[in-house]
Structure 1
Amino acid sequence: MAEAAVGFVVQKLGDLIVQESIILYGVRDEVEWLERELRRMQCFLKDADSKKNKTDDERIKNWVTEMRDLAFEAEDIIDTFMYLKLRRQHKPGCVGFIKGYMFIPVELIHRHKIHVDVRRIEAEIQKLSESRTRYGIANIDETNGTTSQSRSQDMIPILPQLNDEIDIVGFDNEKKKIVQELVDINDTNQTVISIVGMGGLGKTTLAKSIYNDHEVKRSFDIFAWVIISQEYTILEILKRISSEVSATPSADTIRDLSVAISKKLKEGKYLIVLDDIWKEDVWNELLKAFPDVKNGSRVIITTRFLNVAKIANRTAQPHELRFLNKKESWELFLRKVFPRQDIETCCPIYLVDYAHQLIQKCSGLPLALVVLGGLVSTKPQTQDAWQKVVESMKGQFAKCGERCLEILALSYNDLPYYLKSCYLYFGCFREHKNISAQTLIRLWSAEGFLPTKTSKTVEEIGLDWLEELTQRCLIQVTDWKCDGSAKYCRIHDLLRDLCIEEAKENKYLQIYKNDSVDHVTMSNATAARRLITFNEIEILNFSNSKLRGLFFDGHHIDPLTFQVMNRQFGGFKLLRVLSLRNLSTSKFPSEIKSLIHLRYLELRAFGLMEVPSWISHLRNLQTFIIGTTKQLENISDSLWRIDSLRHVDLCISSTYPPNMENIVLKNLQTLKGVNAGSWIGNTLPKLTNLRKLCINDVTIDHADALSSSLQKLGQLTSLNIEGALIPSYNVICSATGFPQLLSLTVVGFYELEEWTIEENAMPCLKYLLLFRCPKLKMIPEGLKNVPLDQLELTLMSAEFKTRIKENTGEDWYKIQHVPNISII
């Protein structure tokens, strides 16, 4: 009977396999068709995005929205198919084979649903196509609606005109500097002066104040003010300049206008202002019209982009405007609310608190303060009236100042299509947060925003894109790495608001906060592609099959709440990014193992003890970050069998070294928080793409292997080794070692007495930290040839510090070339 039962099971399995194969191949063909159709839709949406602001036709906007939603659905279907395919991959052996087919009936139902969904999408695409003709929807590039540019030009009058009284608040020092540069009689060369900043910071206001300054007016003979803006032609710009300076061209051609302008400008000392330059090539195309006759002529440009400023003058430092502080914000706001009144006494005491609340919302952005001040000036000076304005400000700024937000939106709308998704990701972070550039880029990569088929790594492309956002002044870099690239950045609150509004409209993300500011309805949350929750976790009590990213960065989560949350993860089958902070658990959330599409996993928990063996189920994982208050007792060997791993950061290392024998992680670039062990000799030399390495508990037993292995890591840019290595070994100093190393940290080498750096070793090193190496006698002689920018020496011996004393120490000559030296 047992044999008959086994035969029956095998027969039924065989029947199911046949049924599954028939449906599988049919569904696979349909999904392949859908993938091709999705690529077409994405190309259309990319084109539509570049033209969407050229129309006010709601029919077209709605039509594009429907197409975008269909593209989202198509992406969901494809990812669901891949999820089922990956889940069904057989494990070795008979038991694995049987387990692989235990759920065939359920999966047949899922595949049938995919078949139905693909057919529905196909029908919807056909209906959308037919509706364009039926309802007279023109092609996007054939519409003649009002463009966003023309709307932005209508907003210009809210800024002071050239002959108006201009409020210069917070710009006094910057104005003095620029005026001095303009009137400096010792500099007779023609000079370009750049004023740079994001929209609304006051570039034009400052330039106009300078342009009308009495000292400036006395110093020049010929003046011209020309607005460039986004959409320009060189011909039109030259016509405006010609008119301003009263040039008389023989014909309205670029050549004739340039010749006439140049001839006119040679007649005297000129000051030309080119306001709001958006493109790099504008200056190069206008350069020939501005002669340098060595009479001290000047050109001022205002721009949102640092690269534009650098093209115009490669030697001078641009004047980058800052946000106003609280005192300056208060003054500018009150000047607009109570014009021509004493700032010290104009605001009634009963309105002071409301004024502070409104000013805080503007976050020091001058244009926001001007627009909001103008709005408040139209209201009665009563508590009730001002309270209503404050309450309206609890929504997005656009509700009480659409003009301001639209001006800010110009920079966003000008972004290339590929940068818009990256920029909207800033909405996932808290206000005022300093955002790690490497974290941001890893998230972009996990989401699939960064191209992979290029000569550069995705991390290099990410840095390029971050630099472009910086040059456009949409974000601010707050700290830099050794190589000059961004380390931390931030986004202004109003621009973050803009990101969030745009993201919500496109179902890109939703933010849940347990207050009246960003509370989202459950229906909105279930449609979002990304969900960010800062306070409560109850929002997870629903199933969102479309979710791609989930961020929790709130208060401490108690164990009971964590158990509830853990059960919800199974509903997020298509999740690619999961970031959880402030958990209270010793166990890894078990339901995460079903998230096969996961590419980025960050888990910071109090008391976490181990990384489980099922971690290898996450076969697409690229970034794995674990933070805990204790040492991990165990890291499963299966972690090192995930071929897609690029970045592993264990924050606090495990009790034991990892078992990485016979592992080749060809994609691994970051390995931090691991203990030294036999893997150093066996595995480390094979990690040839490694860029960042942090090894703990290094001892004499690892010295030979570490010395040999490190020489093979030619891509290494950051090295941190902690332990008690004794001085008999030259680990980090050979003449050919570390050609790319930028940062080196040596911590806790208690027995290290001597260190030799051979000539030509570490030719790119910019940062060196020696921490608690009490027996190290002196600075290595070879350090004098290393191009350090920063040297930090912490908890070193008194003898060591005496030898490096400035000018008098025996070893001072070895480090006197280092501009930044810190001794603690």
Structure 2
Amino acid sequence: MWDVKVWNEIKLLFPDDGNGSRIILTSRISDVALYASSNSPPYNMRFLNNDESWNLLKEQVFQDEHCPTELEGVGIEIAQSCRGLPLAILLVGGLLAKVQRAQNHWRNVAENIQSIISTHNDQCLEILSLSYNHLPQHLKTCFLYMGVFPEDYQIPVSKLVRLRAAEGFLKPCGDESLDDVGEKYLKDLIDRGIVLVSQRKLSGKIRTCSIHDLVRDLCVREAQKEKFIRTIKSDDDLSSEGAFGHRCLCLHSSILQDDASFCRDSIICIREHSDGRLKEIYDAMRSSTLIRSLIFTGTYRKPLNIFLRFGLLRVLDALSVTFFWFPIEVLELVYLRYLALTFDGELPGLVSNLQNLEILIVHQVFWRPPSYLPSEIWRMPRLRHLEFKEVFLPDYPGTLYYGKNTFCLENLQTLLGIRDFRVTEDVYKNIPNVKKLEIVYDKNSNTMGWSLYCLDNLVHLHQLDSLKCHFLDDRTQKPDLPDLTFPSELKELSLLGWEIPSKYMTTVGSLHNLEILKLRFCSLQDDEWELSEGEFSRLKVLVLERMNIVRWRAETDHFPSLEQLIIKHCRELEEIPSSFGDIPTLQIIKVVGSSRSCEISAMQILEDQQSLGNDGLQGKAHSLSLTLCSFAASPADRRSPPLALSGNRRSPLALAAPIEELSIFLK
């Protein structure tokens, strides 16, 4: 069922006569299922696990017969290759039922499973296409754009949303931001079972997503039919008419192999030095006028003479191509909104010619001193996202620059990888809407005193909700954390490499909106951390990594909202306070490479809670003694019921093997 209106009409035919009858309704749209089962939650279908996949394959192939022992190993391998999709399992099972039941024949199927599915998947694609056909147009476009990513690729949600935004596929309503709209569209696709959640952030938001191989086949087929995406690999045929008449062009790095000498202009000498294949690609690209997105995929390659002069180009993602020099023809792409490059050098001042640019990402491939952004960066008012490995942000140049008015970067929301950031009054007034900020200081940053960087002005960034402030140095002695006053809206704080006075922990604890705190490679001036009443009232995630804490004194009311406690390599920490087991919201305690007594205290919390009847307590252990069993993945993405600790478990005090990683999940 695809629409709630249909259910409203059909349910009139099924009056409730109190005779115990039941109706089973299936839908690929979660909103329809929720509406129809308003009195109880709907049952969400999931992918089959390995055992279920093998059982379904056996039933399809052998029916009531037994599977020969010599075929079980390769049969399980084939079932797992279908990645839990019943349609794929039935397709392969139908093929196996027709071939000879011999190990060599089944081995041949196992080694060519993907090509077999692709060759015989017409029926599956027709079934899957029902979901695509019922998508509204704005979701169809967003779904097709996922075809730019390679097979089995973990798609970063942030990148996917920015690419869609740059293409103009996201349509905000009212005060909605483009990021909010992009995440809402993605959630709609997930609720319809088309897109899968792969990884989540500590905050619970989706970090990466993916699509099943068969769904990707559907995506690629529809994208080619609509002349939406064309992917070019080294062996593709370019002779067909309209080979480049698509909106989006993806070039795999396998074609970016050329022994031509390099020139500053990346389109010079292509005809003289390149082989016939590369020349063919060059000529075809030059004749295309419709390309809006040019995306390079694959591993890093050296810079190549490739055509970049597409007058209507909005997206250029060339992170997988290493340029020795900035490709100057990019400066002519006046409609460009998304630019991602990998090169070791400084951006030219003429980058400000790209007045429509919203997203700028520059990575380095070789370790070199940080470069300087040109002052003209302040004259690009549409910038929303700036991301670098490490770069110096120039001082604000004033109201006039070369006789032209400068602009306020009022649309800038993320500023990542800024070295020795000076938060002067001119700077914070001209980036008023920054939400995410990442600052890096090196070992020589404080030679002139921390007052040079005006970090007390961070409090004036009223929209800031995520701050990473890192000090990178190999010295044992860490610098004192400078005077910091955080904005009240801050939700996520990450500090790395600092010596933290006790007063600052009190300051951090008083941030009433703080939800995530990460302290990595930091030292407290005292080896004891004692909290005060009312601190960390909304904190949901606490990460401590390589801290010098020995004793930790905390009560239940100190972390009333805590959901995840992650402790990594805190080898001096004696124990986790037992009061953490009484926090009603706590879901995960994870201990990695810490002291033996700390690991035992984590297990003791688990046992104490289970003895009190907390049956929802779950555990997970890696490289742990065989006296403990394995456990399911994080509750946020669990697709099958977890295995609980067995009733005859041994006491953690009896464990003989060292624990490398221990996680405890509280449901």
- Relative to the length of structure 2, the TM-score reads 0.69
Q: Return the alpha-carbon distance in structure 1 between the equivalents of residues 229 and 440 of structure 2.
A: 39
2:4–2:36 contact (8 Å) kept in structure 1: no
Q: Which residue of 1 aligns with 2:188?
A: 468
State which of 115, 121, 128 in structure 2 corresponds to 1:394.
Answer: 115
Q: Return the alpha-carbon distance in structure 2 between the equivalents of residues 796 and 729 of structure 1.
A: 21
Q: Return the alpha-carbon distance in structure 2 between the equivalents of residues 376 and 308 of structure 1.
A: 37
Deviation at 1:593, TM superposition (A): 1.6
More strand by share: 2
State which of 542, 547, 550 in structure 2 corresponds to 1:799.
Answer: 550
1:791–1:822 contact (8 Å) kept in structure 2: no
1:112-133 superposed Cα distances (whole Å, 9 cap, x missing partner): xxxxxxxxxxxxxxxxxxxxxx
Aligned residue runs from structure 1 range 643-792, under 5 A:
643-650=381-388, 652-654=389-391, 656-662=392-398, 664-697=408-441, 699=446, 701-702=449-450, 706-723=454-471, 726=480, 729-732=483-486, 737-739=487-489, 741-750=490-499, 752=501, 754-757=503-506, 761-777=510-526, 778=529, 781=532, 784-792=535-543
Q: Secondary structure at the match of 2:190?
A: helix
Give 2:363's aligned amino acid: G
Distance 1:680 1:799, change over 3 A: farther
Please state if 1:601 is matched with 2:339. Answer: yes
2:519–2:545 contact (8 Å) kept in structure 1: yes
2:170–2:182 contact (8 Å) kept in structure 1: yes
Q: Return the alpha-carbon distance in structure 2 between the equivalents of residues 441 and 581 of structure 1.
A: 17
Q: Return the alpha-carbon distance in structure 1 between the equivalents of residues 534 and 546 of structure 2.
A: 19
Q: Which residue of 2 aligns with 1:435?
A: 155
Give 1:771's aligned amino acid: R
State which of 13, 19, 23 in structure 2 corresponds to 1:273.
Answer: 23
Deviation at 1:784, TM superposition (A): 2.9
2:152–2:213 contact (8 Å) kept in structure 1: yes
Q: Which residue of 2 aligns with 1:634?
A: 372
Q: Secondary structure at the match of 2:24?
A: strand
1:616-636 superposed Cα distances (whole Å, 9 cap, x missing partner): 122211111111143433322
Q: Return the alpha-carbon distance in structure 2 between the equivalents of residues 800 and 687 of structure 1.
A: 41
Give 1:564's aligned amino acid: N
CA RMSD, aligned part only?
Answer: 3.8
Deviation at 1:512, TM superposition (A): 2.0
Deviation at 1:369, TM superposition (A): 1.5
Give 1:671's aligned amino acid: L
Q: Return the alpha-carbon distance in structure 2 between the equivalents of residues 336 and 611 of structure 1.
A: 60
Distance 1:434 1:410, change over 3 A: same
1:124-164 superposed Cα distances (whole Å, 9 cap, x missing partner): xxxxxxxxxxxxxxxxxxxxxxxxxxxxxxxxxxxxxxxxx
Q: Return the alpha-carbon distance in structure 1 between the equivalents of residues 227 and 502 of structure 2.
A: 60
Deviation at 1:509, TM superposition (A): 0.1
Deviation at 1:706, TM superposition (A): 4.5
Deviation at 1:521, TM superposition (A): 5.0
2:524–2:548 contact (8 Å) kept in structure 1: yes
State which of 560, 569, 572 in structure 1 corresponds to 2:308.
Answer: 569
Aligned residue runs from structure 1 range 300-319, under 5 A:
304-311=28-35, 319=43
Please state if 1:444 is matched with 2:164. Answer: yes
Give 1:324's aligned amino acid: L
Identity %, equivalent residues = 28
Q: Return the alpha-carbon distance in structure 1 between the equivalents of residues 581 and 57 of structure 2.
A: 55
Distance 1:673 1:731, change over 3 A: same
Q: Return the alpha-carbon distance in structure 1 between the equivalents of residues 212 and 311 of structure 2.
A: 34
Distance 1:388 1:756, change over 3 A: closer
2:196–2:211 contact (8 Å) kept in structure 1: yes
1:150-193 superposed Cα distances (whole Å, 9 cap, x missing partner): xxxxxxxxxxxxxxxxxxxxxxxxxxxxxxxxxxxxxxxxxxxx
Give 1:274's aligned amino acid: I
Larger Rg: 1
Give 2:498's aligned amino acid: F
For structure 1, the 5+ residue unaligned runs are: 1-227, 242-260, 278-303
Aligned residue runs from structure 1 range 241-640, under 5 A:
241=14, 261-262=15-16, 264-265=17-18, 268=19, 270-277=20-27, 304-311=28-35, 319-326=43-50, 328-345=52-69, 362-378=82-98, 394=115, 397=118, 400-452=120-172, 454-481=174-201, 484-514=204-234, 523-534=241-252, 535-537=254-256, 538=278, 539-542=281-284, 543=286, 544-558=288-302, 562-565=303-306, 568-570=307-309, 572-605=310-343, 608-629=344-365, 630=367, 631-640=369-378
2:511–2:536 contact (8 Å) kept in structure 1: no
Deviation at 1:316, TM superposition (A): 6.6
- Relative to the length of structure 1, the TM-score reads 0.57
Q: Return the alpha-carbon distance in structure 2 between the equivalents of residues 813 and 322 of structure 1.
A: 31
1:757–1:783 contact (8 Å) kept in structure 2: no
Q: Secondary structure at the match of 1:610?
A: coil
Q: Secondary structure at the match of 2:499?
A: coil
Give 2:543's aligned amino acid: E
1:625–1:648 contact (8 Å) kept in structure 2: yes
Deviation at 1:333, TM superposition (A): 2.7
Deviation at 1:670, TM superposition (A): 0.3
Distance 1:785 1:405, change over 3 A: same
Range that drifts further, 791-800 or 762-771: 791-800
1:583-606 superposed Cα distances (whole Å, 9 cap, x missing partner): 33432222222222111111234x
Q: Secondary structure at the match of 2:550?
A: helix
Q: Secondary structure at the match of 2:25?
A: strand
1:653-703 superposed Cα distances (whole Å, 9 cap, x missing partner): 13x443344452010000000123445442124322111011111748445
Deviation at 1:413, TM superposition (A): 1.2
Aligned residue runs from structure 1 range 121-270, under 5 A:
228=1, 233-234=6-7, 237-238=10-11, 241=14, 261-262=15-16, 264-265=17-18, 268=19, 270=20
More helix by share: 1
Distance 1:759 1:563, change over 3 A: closer
Q: Return the alpha-carbon distance in structure 2 between the equivalents of residues 335 and 812 of structure 1.
A: 48
Q: Secondary structure at the match of 2:438?
A: strand
Distance 1:816 1:413, change over 3 A: closer
Deviation at 1:520, TM superposition (A): 5.9
Q: Secondary structure at the match of 2:122?
A: helix
Aligned residue runs from structure 1 range 74-113, under 5 A:
none
1:693-750 superposed Cα distances (whole Å, 9 cap, x missing partner): 1111174844586454322222222111123763563423xxxx322x2211011113
Aligned residue runs from structure 1 range 25-104, under 5 A:
none
Distance 1:522 1:325, change over 3 A: farther
1:470–1:476 contact (8 Å) kept in structure 2: yes
Distance 1:596 1:434, change over 3 A: same
Q: Return the alpha-carbon distance in structure 1 between the equivalents of residues 93 and 577 of structure 2.
A: 60
1:392–1:400 contact (8 Å) kept in structure 2: no
Give 1:795's aligned amino acid: R
For structure 2, the 5+ residue unaligned runs are: 257-277, 399-406, 472-477, 555-572, 595-667
Q: Secondary structure at the match of 1:272?
A: coil
2:510–2:535 contact (8 Å) kept in structure 1: no
1:648–1:672 contact (8 Å) kept in structure 2: yes
1:746–1:770 contact (8 Å) kept in structure 2: yes
Q: Secondary structure at the match of 1:525?
A: coil
Range that drifts further, 441-450 or 324-333: 324-333
Q: Secondary structure at the match of 1:470?
A: helix
Distance 1:507 1:768, change over 3 A: same
Give 1:536's aligned amino acid: I
Q: Secondary structure at the match of 2:199?
A: strand
